[in-house]
A and B are shown apart, each in its own frame.
Chain A
Amino acid sequence: MENERLIIIFLGMAAATYFPRLIPLVALSKIELPRVVMRWLSYLPVAILSALIFPGAIQRAGAIDVSPGNPGLWALIISFGVAVKTRNLILTVVVGGVAMYLVQLL
């Protein structure tokens, strides 16, 4: 593939990824937001994280797979178990990753 063309496309991608990150931070950080907006923002982290986990974590090759043959399903259940039980982030990450590794070897 031609380098000049790729560089131009990648610069276009740079703009397309940077502006969604930049504009809300610049536009909203210096104004006093109404209380109702602040309350809405307070629910946003839980909502975003839940939407990132589901269905991403249980997808294989782009399709949702809830069969026992999907290692991600088991690793996800184990991750939730550890997280709820211990509320320890590092432990959840380590156990989740190790679980994913071991389940794949089975």
Chain B
Amino acid sequence: MNDVKNNMMKQAFTDALPIILGYIPMGAAYGILARQSGISLFPAIFMSIVVFAGASQFIAVGLLSGGATGFEVVLTTFFLNLRHVLMSASLSPFFRKVSRWIIPFIAWGVTDETYAISIGRYHSNEADHRYSLVLHYTAYASWLTGSVLGALAGFLVPAALQSSLEFALYSMFVGLVILQISDRLHLLVGVATAAMSILFSFFMGGTWNIITAAFAGATLGLVLEQGGGKRKKERGG
């Protein structure tokens, strides 16, 4: 039994590798940008410690250097991160037997990337709360490492390498979405959601297109499934 647990935790670390490679340069880019925008060393690092949300941190730095109020920054951050409500809801059924005091620690590390990696493992019964803890805190450590390096030393990887490492996170999403597509209905949900997300991005700000499209896409899948199930029953299937 202990071996199973250890293997799961090793697996979590292996699964975290693409996240580590993506988060360190992205964190460094954040650290540099923050310092260049006139935020001193301590607050620049402090933001990564207490926030842990890449896109929001970049946007906050931009807003602050543009003279935005604190309220505007916090509100923008909130709307950008509402998408994690869906991810957190989707993970919730897998924590029935986990003690209450561990859940807040797991919740802290729910990001687009850690969610994308772990949800597949949960669906195939290859993860538990220990897996999530290792994955989430490895990702957090990478984000902090990158932020500190960037804020301290102006450590910067060449632009082409930087954008490749960041793009690799999209490749990760691609690999994961393909693994998730198990039948035609899931394929249809994927294609329809992508189309909606693109369409909505033209008139919705922040990440509202992601939230709205994902909500609508999952609902479409459910409606088609229930409709299909009923038709089968009517035909006596």
Q: Which residues of A contact B (CB under 8 A)?
A: 1, 3, 5-18, 20-30, 33, 36, 38-57, 64, 71-72, 75-76, 79-80, 82-84, 87-98, 100-101, 104-105
Contacts and interface: CB of A to CB of B under 8 A. Distances in A.
Name the interface size band of chain B: 35 or more
A71 B173 CA distance: 17
B194 A29 contact: no
A75 B219 CA distance: 30
Contacts of B177: 46, 49-50, 53, 83
Interface of B: 17-18, 21, 37-40, 42-43, 46-47, 50-53, 56, 60, 64, 70, 73-75, 77-78, 81-96, 98, 100, 103-104, 106-108, 110, 112, 115-116, 119-120, 123, 160-161, 163-165, 167-168, 170-181, 185-186, 189-191, 193-198, 201, 209-210, 213-215, 217-222, 225-226
Q: Could you tell me the dominant secondary structure of chain A's interface residues?
A: helix
A18 B222 CA distance: 29
A25 to B, nearest CB: 5
Given A11-B50, A22-B88, A52-B116, A45 B70 contact: no
Given A48-B115, A64-B198, A26 B168 contact: no
B96 A30 contact: yes
A82 B176 CA distance: 12
A93 B18 CA distance: 7
Contact of A41 (B21, B53, B89): B89
A50 B112 CA distance: 12
B91 to A, nearest CB: 6
Nearest to A38: B93
